[in-house]
Structure 1
Amino acid sequence: MTIWELMRALGKAIRTMTWAGGALALAAAVPASAQGKLEARYEVTLAGLPIGTGSWMVDVNDTHYLAAASGATTGLLRVFTGGQGTSAARGTLTSGGIPLSSIYAATITTRQKSDEVRLTINHGDVKDTRLEPPRDKDPERVPITPAHERGILDPMTASLLRAPDAANPMAPATCDRTLAIFDGRLRYDLKLAYKRIEQVKTDKGYAGPALVCSVNFTPIAGYIPSRYAIKYIAKLKDMEVWFAPITGTHVLVPIHAQGPTPIGPVVLQATQFVSTVTPTRASSTK
Structure 2
Amino acid sequence: MLRLCLTAVVALAGAGAVTNPAHADGRLEARYRLSLAGLELGRAAFLLEVDDSTYTASGSARLTGVVRAVASAKGTAGARGLVERGLLAPRTFAMEAETDKKSEAIRLALNSAGVTDMSVEPPVNQSEDRVPVTEKDKKGVFDPMTATLIMVPGTQDPVSPKACERTLSIFDGRQRYDLALSYERMEDVKAEKGYAGPSVVCRIAYRPVSGHRPSRKAVKYMTENKEMYVWLAPVAGTRLLVPFRAAVTTAIGVAQLEAESFISESMVDKRASPSRAAAP
Contact map agreement 2:181 2:202 (CA 8 A) in 1: yes
Partner of 1:45: 35
Distance 1:124 1:30 in 2: 20
For 1:210, give the aligned amino acid: S
| Cα deviation code 1:227-268 (max 9, x no counterpart) | 111111111101100000000000000000111111111111
How many residue pairs get aligned? The number is 271
Residue 13 and residue 272 in structure 1: after superposition, are their counterparts in 2 closer, same or farther (change >3 A)? Answer: closer
Partner of 1:183: 172
For 1:42, give the aligned amino acid: Y
| Cα deviation code 1:16-68 (max 9, x no counterpart) | 359xx6xxx72249954110000000001101000000110000011110000
For 2:11, what is the secondary structure of its paired residue? helix
Distance 2:27 2:146 in 1: 15
Aligned-pair identity in percent equals 42
For 1:184, give the aligned amino acid: G
For 2:253, what is the secondary structure of its paired residue? coil
- Structure 1 gaps of 5+ residues are none
Deviation at 1:12, TM superposition (A): 4.8
1:8 equivalent to 2:3? Answer: yes
Partner of 1:126: 115
TM-score by length of 1: 0.89
Deviation at 1:131, TM superposition (A): 0.7
For 1:77, what is the secondary structure of its paired residue? helix
1:235 equivalent to 2:224? Answer: yes
For 1:61, give the aligned amino acid: D
Partner of 1:214: 203
Partner of 1:257: 246
For 2:40, give the aligned amino acid: P
Residue among 62, 68, 78 paired with 2:58: 68
- Structure 2 gaps of 5+ residues are 273-280
Deviation at 1:115, TM superposition (A): 1.1
TM-score by length of 2: 0.91
| Cα deviation code 1:100-139 (max 9, x no counterpart) | 4410001111101111101011014100011111121211
1:116 equivalent to 2:111? Answer: no
Contact map agreement 1:41 1:270 (CA 8 A) in 2: yes
Deviation at 1:83, TM superposition (A): 1.1
State the 4+ residue runs in structure 1 displaced beyond 6 angstroms: none
For 1:219, what is the secondary structure of its paired residue? strand
1:171 equivalent to 2:160? Answer: yes
For 2:128, what is the secondary structure of its paired residue? coil
Contact map agreement 1:30 1:250 (CA 8 A) in 2: no
Partner of 1:58: 48
Residue 220 and residue 91 in structure 1: after superposition, are their counterparts in 2 closer, same or farther (change >3 A)? Answer: same
Contact map agreement 1:29 1:157 (CA 8 A) in 2: no
Across the aligned residues of Structure 1 and Structure 2, the Cα RMSD in angstroms comes to 2.2
